[in-house]
Amino acid sequence: MKGIRRKLTVQSAAALAAVMFAGTSRANDTTVSNQEVQAKLQYCKVCHGVSAQGFLGYYPIPRLAGQQIAYMENQLRGFAERKRVNNIMFNVGHVLSPAMITALATNFHDLNPKPLGNAPKELVAAGKKIYEEGVPSANVLACASCHGKEAKGDGQFPRLAGQLYGYVTLQLTTWSKERAENTSDIMAPIARGLTDAQIKAVAAYVSYLE
């Protein structure tokens, strides 16, 4: 009997500790210190570059600077919930509290470094036309209708201005493989409606916008 009582006592203590820990975790989700935010920003800089300008490498890593807050919050949650398939960003996103997600999104939104560029400039004119007018023959709407005339986005519609050429090209050509969030209902038919040449042209145009 003593052994049973001891086992129950240990189990009860463990359960109580779990409840207390869970309560503390939820409380911490509502606030985050500046020191914690800065530490996480330094971590993000390793991949996304100085001032979140993006990284030009074999695999392009996107610019986060100037991005819409609501959009970025949604994407980080999407990675954590595997609505966007990216193992690296899942590992980053699933440990972030709601407060940290908002803090990071706000910090990135306030940055505005010069675009890295490097896209073929001869594609810019064609890309501008598609961005502003769409491709009526393929039922592709003008990009500006959602992302804005200056491609700075609005709410859940992301900023495209200054985004890396290689990243935009990759995202539009592999859209259905990575994304499953709500905006895919809008973007999936658009991505499918553009030819590879048109995708590259649009990507080149927005990459030079500030």
Spatial distance between the Cα atoms of 109 and 183, rounded to a whole number of angstroms: 20
pTM to 2 decimals? 0.82
**Domains identified in the chain and CATH numbers:** 121-207 (1.10.760.10)
Can you state the percent helix, strand and coil of the chain, rounding each to 5? 60, 5, 35
Residue 10: pLDDT above 80? no
Average pLDDT, the chain: 86
The residue with greater pLDDT, 3 or 51, is 51
Q: Is the predicted pLDDT of residue 139 greater than 50, yes or no?
A: yes
3-state secondary structure of 142: coil
What per-residue confidence (pLDDT) applies to 184? 55
- 28 has pLDDT over 90: no
- pLDDT at res. 85: 86
Quick one: tokens of 156? 């859940």
Q: Cα separation of 205 and 162, whole Å?
A: 9
